[in-house]
Amino acid sequence: MYLISSRQMLKKALREGYAVPAFNVHNLETVQVVAETAARLASPVILAGTPATFSYAGTDYLVSICQEAARRHNLPLALHLDHHEELEDISHKVTAGVRSVMIDGSHLPFEENIRKVIEVVRFCLRYDVSVEAELGRLGGQEDDLNVSNTDSFFTDPLAAKAFVARTGIDSLAVAIGSAHGLYHGEPHLDFERLAAIREQVDIPLVLHGASGIPEAMVQQAIALGVCKVNVATDLKIAFADAVKSYFIQHPDANDPRKYIVPGKQAMQAVVEEKIQICGSAGKL
């Protein structure tokens, strides 16, 4: 079973008013949990990997595990390159079987970001690979990507219109107040800005940094055109907390087939909850 692009998934979500959750995966167990839960709930899902994850797991290993998950569950699965910055790296992973890409040029000046994205869009068109890009810049930490509050800035709606028209991307990641990693205090999303972006741009919008954002806020963002909701930290915390408490209760435990199980169960509950928040159950 091959891995699909996220183009049709996100277009359908936009037409029907829900979002596809994108879960960052790191290893066999995260892929198993996300794929099994998605299949059980008949939900489209995206499996996302940062450059650090692909380096950790090995591109061919990760692609093979995701392909097997798609085959085993007869599930149209997209494996997505999260926050990738170099065409050479992207082309290597597309050759390995990936069909969904984010080119992150959000740290670059506007024209350079556009140039970089166009280069990737041209390449990806040849392989029918979907492309997400980011305008504006999220704060917070995502693996090796660490952006301070002073370096983060929100997406400008008119710039977004020009960016989408000139690059031909499939989806746009917007900076409206969400941040990668943990929030210190209550997150605030700029819904007016999101509505203004939606007025200028008719492609699916992407909300990064969705861990820790209250359900009602995520749903409001979806109502305003967000079609992909990215979740990493909530899964990591659920897994780590459950495994830590297992070791507290079983200090002599040493069998990974046992101590990983509560971690997987805790991630499963998070995946179910996010699918429910996104309204994607039954949308396969």
DSSP characters over 217-264: HHHHHHHTTEEEEEE-HHHHHHHHHHHHHHHHH-TT---HHHHHHHHH
Asked if residue 155 binds ligand 13P (CB under 6 A), the reply is: no
Rg of the chain over all Cα atoms, to the nearest angstrom:
18
Question: Please, what sign has the CA dihedral across residues 200, 228, 10, 221?
Answer: negative
Site for ligand 13P in 227-256 (CB under 6 A): 230-234
Site for ligand 13P in 66-125 (CB under 6 A): 82-83
Cα first-last separation, the chain: 16
Phi, psi of 49 (to 5 degrees): -135, 130
Min CB(81)–ligand 13P separation in Å:
10
| Cβ-based burial of 89 (10 A; exposed 0-12, middle 13-18, buried ≥19) | middle
Residue with smaller CB distance to ligand 13P, 227 or 246: 227
Asked if residue 271 binds ligand 13P (CB under 6 A), the reply is: no
Please give the Cα distance from 244 to 250 (Å, whole number). Answer: 10
* Residue 230 among known ligand-binding residues: yes
Q: Which tokens go with 234?
A: 């909530």
Min CB(235)–ligand 13P separation in Å:
8
Asked if residue 180 binds ligand 13P (CB under 6 A), the reply is: yes
Asked if residue 142 binds ligand 13P (CB under 6 A), the reply is: yes
Residue with smaller CB distance to ligand 13P, 5 or 178: 178
E strand spans, 150-204: 171-174, 179-180
Residue in 60, 82, 170, 252 annotated catalytic: 82
Phi, psi of 130 (to 5 degrees): -80, 150
Please give the Cα distance from 262 to 141 (Å, whole number). Answer: 26
Any idea what the Cα angle at residue 144 is, between residues 24 and 275, rounded to 5°? Answer: 15
Residue with smaller CB distance to ligand 13P, 51 or 157: 51
Residue with smaller CB distance to ligand 13P, 83 or 116: 83
* Residue 83 among known ligand-binding residues: yes
What single DSSP character describes residue 266?
A: H
Q: Which of 76, 105, 181, 225 binds ligand 13P (CB under 6 A)?
A: 181
Site for ligand 13P in 184-213 (CB under 6 A): 208-211
Site for ligand 13P in 39-68 (CB under 6 A): none
Q: Do the beta carbons of residue 88 and residue 123 sit within 8 Å?
A: no
Q: Among 22, 78, 29, 81, which Cα is nearest to 52's?
A: 81
* Residue 73 among known ligand-binding residues: no
Residue with smaller CB distance to ligand 13P, 142 or 156: 142
* Residue 209 among known ligand-binding residues: yes
* Residue 211 among known ligand-binding residues: yes
Q: Is 82 an active-site residue? A: yes
Asked if residue 21 binds ligand 13P (CB under 6 A), the reply is: no
* Residue 212 among known ligand-binding residues: no
* Residue 39 among known ligand-binding residues: no
Under rule CB under 6 A, how many of the chain's residues touch ligand 13P?
A: 15
Q: Which residues are annotated as a binding site for dihydroxyacetone phosphate?
A: 181, 209-211, 230-233
> Interface residues with ligand 13P (CB under 6 A)?
24, 82-83, 142, 180-181, 208-211, 230-234
Q: Which residues are annotated as a binding site for Zn(2+)?
A: 83, 104, 134, 180, 208
So which residues are the catalytic ones? Answer: 82
